[in-house]
């Protein structure tokens, strides 16, 4: 199934204003049964930019679409060159206070689950368990021909061997892990095929214009049905893949709370939107609840 990507959303002038009052969030977590839905904004404090916030990556680049990737060898060369370089930085990112707080809430039994739109694996790196990766993960690669999966680190070694000396300087790194490179910097970068069948390799992520697997969507819908409240962290909710769960919760009368500095497409369905940086907000809430969100590993 192919969908037209939604890359932007313009907030209405009469959206409810944001607040700095964290009490509704603290009360929801204290009651338990909170389902977290996280977006790119929770990872900005780990050095990974978001798409649409201030200085977001969409202001300078258009993400790769599924249609472009599958339809053009040149597009795949450009993508893998950029992604190979970006992975070196992206793969070194470490969880921040927001990720650690979410993991701590889970450890205390306050959560009904975590759904993340991110592909960075930072919730798990912080100790989060049973995280649903709505859009997949960059640390896995899948063959579009035979369906074989392989670790991203294995592909990185193969790409290193096929492209010795590939060390361009990128203008920046994007939320999907690719680096900003010009066509000249991409040059004649060599893409490697599937080691099993020789087919086309793709990161195990949902590209713009690609549908989230139906079974994964239904699993998330089931989590929403079982949650006492839905807490959205760092997502503009521009794309329907996340917004549909907010609308589902609101239709069922399940309270929706949002922590995001900028207005979101789900603000009308929410009982509150807290306009504070996520690390600060979640650390404050954790302290109020007596939950330790320290970083024992020093990450």
Contact (CB, 8 A) for 76 and 191? yes
Contact (CB, 8 A) for 231 and 37? yes
pLDDT for 224 equals: 98
Contact (CB, 8 A) for 21 and 274? yes
> 18: which DSSP letter?
P
**The Cα angle at residue 182 between residues 178 and 186, in degrees rounded to 5:** 75
- Does 53 count as an annotated binding residue? yes
Look at domain 54-92+138-205 and name its CATH class.
alpha beta
Select the more confidently predicted residue: 42 or 298.
42
pLDDT for 49 equals: 79
What 3-state DSSP class applies to 191?
coil
- Does 15 count as an annotated binding residue? no
Query: What does each C-alpha distance from 153 to 53, 138, 150, 201 come to in angstroms?
Result: 30, 10, 9, 14
Contact (CB, 8 A) for 27 and 110? no
What 3-state DSSP class applies to 62?
coil
pLDDT for 169 equals: 78
- Does 39 count as an annotated binding residue? yes
> 119: which DSSP letter?
S
For the segment 116-137, the average pLDDT, to the nearest whole number, is 95
Per-residue pLDDT of 92-112, as tens digits, reads 889 999 999 999 999 999 999
For the segment 195-217, the average pLDDT, to the nearest whole number, is 95
* Residue range 21-48+95-135+211-293, CATH number: 3.40.50.1220
Q: Among all residues, which ones are annotated catalytic?
A: 135
Q: Give the closest residue to 149 by CA, choosing from 192, 204, 198.
A: 204
pLDDT for 298 equals: 44
Select the more confidently predicted residue: 181 or 235.
235
Per-residue pLDDT of 144-197, as tens digits, reads 999 999 999 999 999 999 999 998 877 677 767 778 888 898 999 999 999 999
Q: Does pLDDT of 227 surpass 80?
A: yes
Select the more confidently predicted residue: 12 or 297.
12
What 3-state DSSP class applies to 93?
coil
What 3-state DSSP class applies to 79?
helix
- Does 258 count as an annotated binding residue? no
Using CA atoms, how far apart are residues 211 and 39, in angstroms rounded to an integer?
17
- The domain limits of the chain are 21-48+95-135+211-293, 54-92+138-205
- Does 220 count as an annotated binding residue? no
pLDDT for 21 equals: 97
Which residues sit opposite 111 in a β-bridge? Answer: 34
- Does 180 count as an annotated binding residue? no
- Does 48 count as an annotated binding residue? yes
- Does 248 count as an annotated binding residue? no
Per-residue pLDDT of 5-55, as tens digits, reads 455 557 776 788 899 999 999 999 999 999 999 999 999 999 887 754 454
Q: Does pLDDT of 255 surpass 70?
A: yes
Per-residue pLDDT of 65-78, as tens digits, reads 999 999 999 999 99
- Does 120 count as an annotated binding residue? yes
- Does 65 count as an annotated binding residue? no
Within 13 Å, how many C-alpha atoms sit on residue 12's CB side?
A: 7
Please give the backbone phi and psi of residue 281, each rounded to the nearest 5 degrees, phi first: -65, -50
Per-residue pLDDT of 267-283, as tens digits, reads 999 999 999 999 999 99
Within 13 Å, how many C-alpha atoms sit on residue 247's CB side?
A: 9
pLDDT category, 56, cuts 50, 70, 90?
very low
How many other CB atoms are there within 10 angstroms of residue 30's CB atom? 14
Using CA atoms, how far apart are residues 234 and 243, in angstroms rounded to an integer?
13
């Amino acid at each position: 199934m192919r969908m037209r990507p939604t890359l932007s959303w313009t907030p209405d002038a009469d959206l409810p204003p944001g607040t700095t009052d964290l009490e509704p969030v603290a009360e929801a977590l204290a009651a338990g049964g909170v389902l977290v839905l996280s977006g790119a904004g929770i990872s900005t404090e780990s050095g990974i930019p978001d798409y649409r916030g201030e200085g977001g990556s969409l202001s300078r680049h258009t993400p790769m679409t599924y249609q472009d990737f599958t339809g053009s060898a040149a597009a795949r060369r450009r993508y893998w060159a950029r992604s190979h370089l970006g992975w070196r930085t992206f793969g070194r990112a470490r969880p921040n206070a927001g990720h650690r707080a979410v993991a701590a809430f889970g450890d205390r039994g306050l959560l009904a689950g975590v759904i993340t739109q991110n592909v960075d694996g930072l919730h798990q790196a912080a100790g989060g368990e049973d995280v649903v990766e709505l859009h997949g993960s960059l640390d896995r690669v899948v063959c579009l021909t035979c369906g074989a999966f392989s670790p991203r680190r294995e592909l990185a070694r193969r790409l290193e061997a096929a492209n010795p000396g590939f060390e361009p300087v990128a203008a920046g790194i994007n939320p999907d892990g690719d680096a900003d490179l010009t066509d000249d910097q991409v040059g004649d970068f060599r893409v490697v095929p599937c080691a099993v069948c020789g087919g086309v390799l793709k990161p195990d992520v949902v590209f713009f214009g690609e549908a989230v697997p139906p079974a994964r969507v239904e699993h998330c819908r089931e989590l929403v049905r079982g949650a006492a409240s839905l807490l959205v962290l760092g997502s503009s909710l521009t794309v329907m893949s996340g917004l549909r769960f907010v609308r589902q919760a609101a239709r069922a009368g399940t309270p929706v709370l949002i922590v995001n500095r900028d207005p979101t497409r789900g603000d009308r369905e929410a009982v509150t939107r807290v306009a504070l940086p996520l690390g600060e907000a979640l650390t404050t809430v954790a302290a109020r609840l007596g939950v330790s969100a320290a970083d024992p590993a020093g990450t």
